[in-house]
Structure 1
């Protein structure tokens, strides 16, 4: 089977089903439940990452992804749901999905926030039929209450990603290749 064992395929399928069963999205309570999770994520960022707070205050829009669950064994995937806010008001709900393959094993959860710094970047995101994170994102990894890795006030990137709250045992969290799609709760 071209290097793929039946066991890997079965385990990968199980991981995908496990991700689909995760309770991190919109449930029977519609958007209210997801908005409550987004509020908690926003409040956490404000309380713990002052550099992100200033960035968010000046943003054209912010996509909050409260929980993304990622799992993999050879093949892997990630899934989460969140809300896009403009002036701290939810305007749309989005899912984030990612598929991967290669040398990987484990599972993790993490949160992230995409800050759209310009109206053009926000318009491009909202107009896309499935926007994929790529090279136009710069990462600001919060460390000890501040943004580490970039100087967010001087970077020219139109989108800044804050990734935080990692738990589990897959090394790192990247948003490259993550596809964001509008959903209806």
Structure 2
């Protein structure tokens, strides 16, 4: 099915794609969260993260923890995601960050997830903090723990300097990636 607009033909998929772009912009939300709001959400996300068997062991070896409590993703064919979070060192927030990514391929709908990135080595944390914008897969790699719902994680077999966890209300999510995600420092102080 096509519609004739002016002298050009527009297909239904193209029309739906255009409508999607108008409904789900990839740009940051109009109301950016305050530092206090982000810190409260980070506290809740870390509490939820610790409910995953073995997660506390990773927090125990962390030199720094980057937490994005709510990362929203939406798309039809082309998607985008955005979230704001905080980097904690020694249990205290030292910087605020945003994460953004675009994706292509079969996708339909919207979802929210939480992301925790743990830096287990000082050198990895320092490199991250000194960067202007850190893109997963380009500026550094993140070993993603994706064992699925209901199973425990342990530090015995995972020795990478940067480890990522993606989780929702039911625990760790699997078959997801952080590849292409960009972390950018925010001015929230």
Tell me which interval the TM-score lies in, with the shorter structure as reference length.
0.7 to 0.9
Q: Which runs of 4+ in 1 moved over 4 A?
A: none
Q: Which structure has the larger Rg?
A: 2
TM-score by length of 2: 0.80
- Deviation larger for 69-78 or 126-135: 126-135
Unpaired segments of 5 or more residues in structure 2?
1-8
Which residue matches 1:12? Answer: 21
Counterpart residue number, 1:137: 142
Q: Unaligned regions of 5+ residues in structure 1, if any?
A: none
Aligned residues: 172
Deviations 1:76-126 (A, max 9, x none): 100000000001100000000001122221111000100001011111111
Going from structure 1 to structure 2, the CA distance change for 1:93 and 1:64 (only over 3 Å counts) comes to same
TM-score (norm 1): 0.82
**What is the distance in 1 between the residues matched to 2:115 and 2:134?**
16
Does the CA contact (< 8 Å) of 1:112 and 1:162 recur in 2?
yes
Which residue of structure 1 aligns with residue 69 of structure 2?
A: 66
Specify whether residues 22 and 37 from structure 1 end up closer, same or farther in structure 2 by C-alpha distance, changes over 3 A only: farther
Alignment match, 2:162: 159
- How far the C-alpha of 1:15 sits from its partner, in A, is 1.3
RMSD (Å), alpha carbons? 2.6
Secondary structure of the corresponding residue to residue 177 of structure 2: coil
Structure with more of its chain in helix, by fraction: 1
Q: Which residue of 1 aligns with 2:4?
A: none
